[in-house]
Structure 1
């Protein structure tokens, strides 16, 4: 049974990568996997759940790769800037992760995933930074009067701003994001 689940997963990953979420359907996945459509539902409740499982795995790989590339001797601001650049480049380069920027698609996928898994918050945004934040707090480089999870949510909010760059204006967005990051980091690193 695990072989069939793995086959479904791998076929779906290939189809999502090549065709995108919208143009991939359960029938196409099962045809490629060589199983009946009904068998799909023995392993996954929906295409959305399968996509999110793949998305989260790809995101985890990206975050690990980013963490390995970071120069940890930098200031907190420089390190966060480097992480954001590496993350953005990685998301744009990966067709599955790039679906994050398709607001109409990703909002629906995430909502259904939350309903199916009964998870209210997805901690997949910069969660790999949590240990660094806690260390900075312990070292006095970052405010310790704020919960480290709240700081992680601030970074998550910055990522969400990124999905609205067309509304903000593409000509302003890169500088806006950098200014926001600088102001946020100043507030987080100026310890009271």
Structure 2
């Protein structure tokens, strides 16, 4: 078996069961049946292994969300479902939950921005939904597509400043903000 994959798989299993803080390199090496020095041939630190694990777990989760959605439901309900699924994963999955780890999230956010590039499946999902909803007359027509996407991009920027706002308010703040945005985009006829 490929040693890097073995190290990755063991690290992922330990991160998932114990979390980032309670997982150490010696545990990963022991589970993988390798020497600690061998770990460093493939990963420069526990953080690098964790960041790679986080990105793959996050992408797997995004695909799950997209596959589970009923795209024909009311726009407010659909966005609420997306946000609720995101919150559920962020609170129940020990790997994804680390996004809110004060000791780790700045590095994790930086790594996420470097690695994800322009490939953001959730952003693409929102952009496609906005076009669909505009064509159906379900959301405001007077707001261009880029500004519509910017509303939801702003939620990511708010999330990246969670420490300044107060981590204790997350993820409820994001949930309310998404709901307020969607109600503003759909209640225009009233």
TM-score interval, smaller chain: 0.7 to 0.9
CA contact (8 A) 1:127 1:152 kept: no
Give how far 1:54 is off.
0.9
Give how far 1:147 is off.
5.3
CA contact (8 A) 1:20 1:96 kept: yes
Q: Which residue of 2 aligns with 1:157?
A: 157
Distance in 2, matches of 1:98 and 1:25, equals: 18
Q: Which residue of 2 aligns with 1:146?
A: 146
Change (3 A) 1:178 1:35: closer
Give how far 1:24 is off.
1.5
CA contact (8 A) 1:137 1:144 kept: no
Change (3 A) 1:119 1:87: same
Give how far 1:10 is off.
0.9
Give how far 1:80 is off.
0.8
Q: Which residue of 2 aligns with 1:18?
A: 17
Provide TM-score, normalisation by structure 1.
0.74
Task: Pick the aligned partner of 1:119 from 114, 117, 132.
Answer: 114
Q: Which residues of structure 1 form unaligned runs of 5+?
A: none
Q: Which residue of 2 aligns with 1:184?
A: 181
How many residues get paired? Answer: 180
Give how far 1:59 is off.
1.2
Distance in 2, matches of 1:76 and 1:158, equals: 22
Please tell me the root mean square deviation across aligned C-alpha atoms, in Å. Answer: 3.3
Provide TM-score, normalisation by structure 2.
0.75
Q: Which residue of 2 aligns with 1:47?
A: 46
Render the CA deviation track for 1:90-130: whole Å, top value 9, x for unaligned: 2222111112222223224444x46xxx9287778x74241
Give how far 1:145 is off.
4.8
Distance in 2, matches of 1:69 and 1:43, equals: 35
Change (3 A) 1:135 1:177: closer
